């Protein structure tokens, strides 16, 4: 297949997958990075990467899996970067909301989501992929790049922590 | 316990679904993705264009700068032994009066003193950097000495757009080629290179705002006289409505000078062949064919 044909095919795939999955991917990323604008950036970057890798993928299912994996990896990068930035910037006064606060507040409408936010990153990823993305353990393992056993472990620990928080609050 | 877990899973599922409903991405996501893809494509195409340009002009540049390269090579050949001996002197082990290493006798400090262990590599790196910088400077100088005679022309402050070192109204690429002398320059202006002026015939070259018909011929046919002669490759008519551009001009191995016109100009494309004895600065031993309306080129004519 010529390069132009591959590019044309990739363009079509981007449009098709965007129409069907963009919103859910942005929501998935928003749960991970806790910020809708950043989530959109992450998903758009992933689409661009998928377009570049289309010669290898050439399949919508593979592309969707690639996109999920890319979103999770890029979200991790964002969180890592954010952690470094937070370490080096002075903390705002307690009565002054941070810039991120406005974006986060919409995610914290329920106690469950705020408890989810308090979980470690990997556990949160496992829960979101499982209970929001409705992925199987094998799919979660593939997306997170860990074993199925590790997925089970992360999920079980996350559920225990979540339950403890909810029971304590109630 | 299991039912309680199920309850919590259901609660979590519902809570996540409810929270996700409140997240609404902006509608211009696809446009932004396409914009990013386009910018990436343009960067890629720029790279590929650069590669093509290098492929096309690399050999020509190599031929043009061959004297400079040869000069640099000769200089390096002269400098390298000196540098090697210097480095060898720096790193060679000095004679230790105490005998072998580990004999218990502390070896005396070298010529550089106790700091010699770290000064030597520093000196070596500094010497290497100095050589590279000197090479770059020398190469730059050589490049300019080769290019300057080609692009030098009358003082550009006169405001005339014709042949003033590329400062024309219609085209940035328009440069007065080697050996092409304007009538005004002949009259009173100073010539870029008197030697060239003496050796080469004068050709009037007048660009116009109207785009000239593109001609890809590097050696258009014509006579060897200094006067540009209109040939089949371009018509000398002054009517802009009837230009006769020809994309495929048969190349002839004879040294020629010709002119082709387009639009209202008298001559918009001219080529000169500089004979070997004219003191061509390219020094490649081959005549240089330069076109009016394009950057000077060098090509071999068997």
Model pLDDT for residues A101-141, shown as the tens digit of each residue:
555 555 555 788 888 888 999 999 999 999 999 999 999 99
* SS3 sequence of B145-213: HHHHHHHCCCCHHHCCCCCCCCCCCCCCCCCCCCCCCCHHHHHCCCCCCHHHHHHCCCCCCCCCCCCCC
pLDDT of A44 > 80? The answer is yes
Pairwise CA distance, residues A12 & B227, whole Å:
59
Under an 8 A CB cutoff, do A109 and B12 touch?
Answer: no
To the nearest whole Å, the CA of B12 is away from the closest chain A CA by: 7
Give tens-digit pLDDT for B241-269: 444 444 444 444 444 444 444 444 444 44
Pairwise CA distance, residues B203 & A3, whole Å:
48
pLDDT at A86: 79
* Residue in A39, A113, A159 nearest the CB of B8: A159
* Residue in B12, B24, B25 nearest the CB of A127: B12
**Alpha-carbon distance values, A26 to A14, A125, A148, B29, B112 (Å):** 15, 14, 25, 10, 64
**Average of per-residue pLDDT across B286-302:** 44
Q: B15 and chain A: CB distance < 8 Å anywhere?
A: yes
How many CB atoms lie under 10 A from the CB of residue A148? Answer: 13
What stretch(es) of chain A map to CATH 1.10.10.10?
108-170
Which residues of chain B have a CB within 8 Å of the CB of A113?
15-16, 19
CB B211 within 8 A of CB B268: no
Q: B11 and chain A: CB distance < 8 Å anywhere?
A: yes
**Average of per-residue pLDDT across B33-41:** 87
Chain mean pLDDT for chain B? 60
pLDDT of B283 > 80? The answer is no
CB A155 within 8 A of CB A131: no
Which residues of chain B have a CB within 8 Å of the CB of A48?
33, 36-37, 40
**Average of per-residue pLDDT across A70-81:** 93
Question: H or E element: which one contains B270?
Answer: strand B269-273
| Beta-bridge partner residues of B290 | B272
**Local structure of residue B27 (DSSP, 8 states):** T
Chain mean pLDDT for chain A? 85
End-to-end CA distance of chain B: 95
pLDDT at A111: 81
- Which B residues, 33 through 92, put their C-beta within 8 Å of a C-beta on chain A? 33, 36-37, 40
pLDDT at A41: 93
CB A164 within 8 A of CB B9: no
Fold classification of A108-170 (topology level): Arc Repressor Mutant, subunit A (1.10.10)
Q: Report pTM.
A: 0.45
Under an 8 A CB cutoff, do A107 and B29 touch?
Answer: no
Judge residue B71's burial from the number of C-beta atoms within 10 Å of its C-beta, 0-12 exposed, 13-18 middle, 19 or more buried: middle
CA torsion sign for B279, B283, B289, B292 is negative
- Output phi, psi for B103, to 5 deg: -80, 0
**Average of per-residue pLDDT across B167-182:** 45
**Average of per-residue pLDDT across B97-112:** 50
How many CB atoms lie under 10 A from the CB of residue A162? Answer: 24
């Amino acid at each position: 297949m010529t390069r132009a044909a591959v590019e044309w095919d990739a363009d079509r795939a981007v449009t098709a997958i965007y129409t069907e999955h963009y919103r859910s991917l942005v929501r998935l990323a928003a749960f991970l990075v806790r910020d809708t604008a950043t989530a959109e950036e992450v998903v758009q970057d992933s689409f661009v990467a998928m377009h570049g890798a289309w010669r290898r993928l050439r399949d919508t299912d593979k592309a969707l899996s690639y996109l999920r994996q890319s979103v999770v990896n890029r979200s991790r990068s964002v969180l890592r970067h954010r952690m470094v930035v937070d370490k080096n910037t002075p903390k705002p006064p307690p009565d002054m909301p941070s810039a991120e606060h406005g974006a986060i507040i919409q995610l914290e409408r329920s106690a469950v989501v705020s408890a989810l936010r308090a979980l470690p990153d990997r556990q949160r990823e496992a829960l979101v992929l499982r209970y929001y993305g409705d992925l199987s353990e094998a799919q979660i393992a593939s997306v997170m790049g860990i074993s199925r056993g590790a997925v089970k472990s992360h999920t079980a620990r996350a559920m225990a922590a979540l339950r403890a928080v909810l029971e304590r609050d109630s | 316990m299991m039912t309680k877990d199920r309850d919590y899973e259901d609660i979590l599922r519902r809570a996540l679904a409810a929270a996700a409903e409140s997240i609404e991405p902006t509608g211009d996501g696809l446009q932004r993705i396409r914009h990013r893809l386009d910018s990436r494509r343009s960067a890629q195409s720029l790279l590929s264009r650069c590669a093509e340009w290098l492929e096309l002009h690399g050999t020509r540049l190599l031929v043009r700068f061959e004297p400079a390269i040869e000069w640099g090579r000769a200089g390096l050949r002269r400098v390298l032994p000196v540098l090697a001996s210097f480095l060898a002197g720096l790193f060679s082990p000095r004679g230790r009066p105490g005998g072998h290493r580990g004999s218990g006798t502390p070896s005396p400090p070298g010529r550089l003193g106790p700091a010699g262990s770290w000064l030597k590599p520093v000196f070596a790196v500094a010497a290497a950097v100095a050589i590279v910088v000197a090479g770059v400077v020398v190469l730059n100088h050589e490049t300019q000495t080769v290019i300057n005679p080609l692009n030098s022309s009358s003082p550009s402050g006169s405001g005339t757009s014709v042949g003033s070192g590329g400062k024309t109204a219609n085209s940035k690429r328009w440069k007065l080629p080697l050996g092409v002398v304007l009538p005004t320059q002949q009259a009173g202006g100073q010539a870029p290179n008197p030697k060239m002026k003496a050796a080469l015939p004068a050709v009037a070259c007048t660009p116009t705002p109207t785009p000239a018909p593109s001609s890809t011929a590097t050696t258009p046919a014509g006579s060897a006289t200094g006067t540009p002669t209109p040939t089949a490759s371009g018509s000398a008519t002054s009517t802009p409505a009837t230009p006769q551009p020809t994309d495929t001009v048969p190349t002839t191995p004879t040294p020629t000078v010709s002119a082709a016109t387009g639009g209202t100009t008298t001559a918009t494309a001219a080529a000169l062949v500089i004979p070997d004895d004219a003191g061509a600065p390219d020094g490649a031993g081959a005549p240089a064919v330069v076109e009016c309306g394009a950057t000077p080129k060098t090509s071999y004519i068997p």
